[in-house]
């Protein structure tokens, strides 16, 4: 494979950018000359460096750019960017033909590709959100917390899957957290059936039109759990809290008829019970009132 021809745009600092050579520092002049393949032999002063730069410009050799790094880092970087650009173009051309199936949806996951947090993070990075721990501002942790809330609070409903020779599809509904009467958001995710890479994501929410919203992240986290537990169907996690969460006591039927708390209630003789008036500002030990006690005679006590 032939090496890519470098230009001034590929190497920062290799262009004069309209400046006079005499206005540059010695290090900048040396770097400019190294980008033209000059050995810098005999060019020790600024006057000699400026003269050498002007010779390259007058002879027209200033456009012959070479990699000044001995490890060819600039050449490798350009080759990597060109390869990535070709992959993006091929991906876009392939995704333009992507069409979600109209039928054949089921709960079967036997053909689901391996999908982990790595594929999820790669999809998030394409949105321009910050992922690295060395970045001062973090937008992903907040989104992940919200997505976890959607997952744990049973907002995801009717998760179905489908597949063809190229993609594995998911669709689901995500209900609102407070507006229960509004229709739920419709989510769609398309994964590469070979690599598990996210090829297309869609949500009816305003921010999800381009596929980057908390509802979509919640569905992706659910897909990660399908891979983690090696589920063969969507119903494989029905006993988990994010599918059947523990209901609050106000959402359950009354349980007064059931005998409960037997191990926490200790019987106490009525003769030892003292009823006192409550005082919020006073300590019980400082109360002078003895309270109400049972005055019945108990023959079992010693006189």
Q: Residue 247: its pLDDT value, please?
A: 59
The rounded Cα 196 to chain-centroid distance in angstroms is 16
- Residues facing 174 on adjacent strands: 156, 185
Q: Residue 111: its pLDDT value, please?
A: 86
Q: Which of 1-10, 28-37, 65-74, 206-215 has the lowest mean pLDDT?
A: 206-215
pLDDT tens for each residue of 168-192: 999 998 876 555 567 888 999 999 8
pLDDT tens for each residue of 215-266: 888 889 899 989 888 888 888 877 655 554 555 666 666 666 555 444 455 6
90: number of Cβ within 10 Å: 10
Dist CA 102 CA 105 (whole Å): 8
Share of the chain above pLDDT 90, in %: 14
Q: Which two tokens stand for residue 110?
A: 């036997």
Dist CA 296 CA 249 (whole Å): 41
Buried/exposed 172-182: b ≥16 CB within 10 Å, e otherwise: bbbbeeeeeee
Domain boundaries, the chain: 1-87, 99-132+140-229
Length of the chain: 303
pLDDT band (50, 70, 90) for residue 87: low
């Amino acid at each position: 494979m032939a090496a890519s021809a470098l230009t001034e745009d590929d190497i920062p600092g290799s262009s004069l950018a309209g400046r006079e050579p005499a206005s540059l520092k010695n290090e900048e002049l040396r770097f400019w000359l190294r980008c033209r393949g000059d050995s810098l032999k005999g060019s020790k002063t600024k006057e000699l460096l400026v003269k050498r730069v002007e010779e390259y410009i007058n002879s027209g050799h200033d456009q012959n750019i070479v990699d000044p790094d001995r490890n060819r880092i600039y050449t490798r970087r350009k080759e990597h960017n060109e390869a990535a650009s070709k992959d993006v173009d091929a991906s876009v051309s392939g995704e333009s033909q992507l069409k979600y199936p109209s039928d054949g949806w089921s709960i079967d996951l036997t053909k689901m590709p391996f999908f982990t947090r790595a594929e999820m993070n790669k999809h998030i990075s394409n949105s321009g959100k910050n992922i690295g721990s060395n970045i001062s501002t973090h937008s992903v942790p907040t989104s992940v917390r919200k997505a976890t809330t959607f997952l744990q609070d049973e907002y995801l409903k009717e998760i179905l899957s489908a597949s063809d020779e190229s993609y594995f599809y998911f669709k689901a509904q995500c209900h609102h957290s407070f507006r229960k009467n509004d229709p739920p958001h419709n989510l769609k995710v398309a994964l590469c059936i070979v690599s598990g890479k996210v090829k297309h994501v869609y949500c009816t929410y305003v921010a999800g039109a381009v596929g980057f919203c908390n509802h979509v992240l919640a569905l992706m986290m659910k897909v990660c759990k399908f891979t983690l537990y090696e589920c063969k169907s969507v119903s494989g996690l029905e006993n988990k809290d994010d599918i059947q969460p523990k209901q609050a006591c106000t959402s359950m039927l009354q349980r007064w008829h059931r005998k409960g708390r037997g191990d926490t209630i200790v019987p106490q003789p009525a003769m030892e019970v003292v009823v006192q008036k409550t005082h919020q500002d006073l300590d019980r030990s400082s109360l002078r009132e003895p309270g109400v006690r049972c005055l019945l005679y108990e023959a079992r006590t010693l006189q």
